Amino acid sequence: MTSASEEPSAPAHASGTFAIGGELRVHRLGFGAMRLPGVRVESQSSGAARELLREAVRLGVDLIDTADAYGRSEDMIAEALHPYPEGLVIATKGGLRRGGHPDGRPERLRADCERSLRRLRLDTIDLWQLHRIDPDVPLEDQLGTIRELRDEGKIRFVGVSEVSPAELVRACELIEIATVQNRFNLGEQAGDAVLRACEAQGIGFIPWAPIGMGDLVGSSGALAGVASGHGATQAQIALAWLLRRSPVVLPIPGTGSLDHLRENLDAALIELSENDLLALERDAE
């Protein structure tokens, strides 16, 4: 992925690996591109975003998650990293309008995929995820369109996002599912049943908001105590907990700061003890 003079540091590699779809092997600690500098404001310089993305890859990140709905994120990724290093997996999503409204109409899903291909300068998207299931469109139609895109070679592997256990079962009946992306973190574990289903089936589980959009940080409970014991930040402990939670978990913390990027990736170096885990779990109940 890098030349000998640019050998990546240890953090991302220390997280271990997971093979998406049984084929795309990535380091388990990735990067979420929703919060790139200037992603929402076109007039802002994208230089900071390019620097951040290049540093993430230099540090060993080989899974970057973005979406059609994330403003200029896909364009910025292409500007910073194309032609892409060998082994870099860019996962994107479609089927969500600005404002968080699902739109699973076949024509919309196809248009979103085509737009992402152009923005990312790709012929095939390694992992394309249905951003939300649209309750107003039959799931067979939504996943049928995605299957067509896959069969056309525009998508390699398929993921779904924010699904219930029953929705995951139904989706798996209609198409091979490689990943699930649900909100999940130390303080929000309602998606545990979906995580367990993913683990049983070898499906990658991508927790979005892995540190609760920052809400976990600043507590005075077990998280603070464990962080102090390791000389780490609370955000780092929250990420280290996710990495210990299951071997199929692929956290994608996002940031607009180089310092926070490095801090997040250093979470892979933290080894939580059984006592640490017990204290964190008790506090989260």
pLDDT in tens, 6-26: 444 568 878 899 999 999 999
CA 227 to chain centre: 24
Question: Which residues have a catalytic role annotated?
Answer: 70
* Predicted model pTM: 0.94
Q: Which ranges of 82-188 does DSSP label H, i.e. alpha helix? A: 106-120, 139-151, 165-174
Q: Which domains does the chain have, with CATH numbers?
A: 4-284 (3.20.20.100)
Cβ atoms 129, 155 nearer than 8 A: no
CA distances from 58 to 2, 19, 51, 78, 81 (A): 7, 21, 10, 16, 11
Average pLDDT score over residue span 83-96:
98
Q: Which ranges of the chain does DSSP label H, i.e. alpha helix? A: 47-58, 73-81, 106-120, 139-151, 165-174, 192-201, 222-230, 234-245, 258-266, 274-284
Q: Would you tell me how many other CB atoms lie within 10 Å of the CB of residue 47? A: 12
209-220 exposure pattern, b = at least 16 Cβ within 10 A, e = fewer: bbbbeeebbeee
Nearest Cα residue to 177 out of 233, 110, 129, 114: 129
Torsion of CA 101, 166, 211, 6, to 10 degrees: -90
Average pLDDT score over residue span 61-75:
96
Cβ atoms 161, 131 nearer than 8 A: yes
CA distances from 150 to 113, 127, 129, 157, 202 (A): 10, 10, 12, 7, 20
pLDDT one-digit tens code per residue, 180-221:
999 999 999 999 999 999 999 999 999 999 998 666 776 668
| Percent of the chain scoring above 70 in pLDDT | 92
Which pLDDT score is estimated for 99? 82
Confidence of residue 42 (pLDDT cuts 50, 70, 90): low
Which pLDDT score is estimated for 6? 47
**Cα separation, 56 vs 234, whole angstroms:** 21
Q: Would you tell me how many other CB atoms lie within 10 Å of the CB of residue 285? A: 5
Confidence of residue 177 (pLDDT cuts 50, 70, 90): very high
**Cα separation, 183 vs 226, whole angstroms:** 23
Q: Is the dihedral of CA 39, 45, 48, 50 positive or negative?
A: positive
Cβ atoms 268, 242 nearer than 8 A: no
**Cα separation, 252 vs 32, whole angstroms:** 5
Nearest Cα residue to 152 out of 114, 179, 203: 114
Residue 127 is encoded by which pair of tokens? 């992992």
- Which stretch of 7-21, 145-159, 234-248 has the lowest confidence by average pLDDT? 7-21
Nearest Cα residue to 150 out of 181, 129, 180, 134: 129
Using the predicted structure, report yes or no on whether residue 2 has a pLDDT greater than 50.
Answer: no
Angle at 157 between CA 152 and CA 160, to 5 degrees: 115
Which pLDDT score is estimated for 3? 37
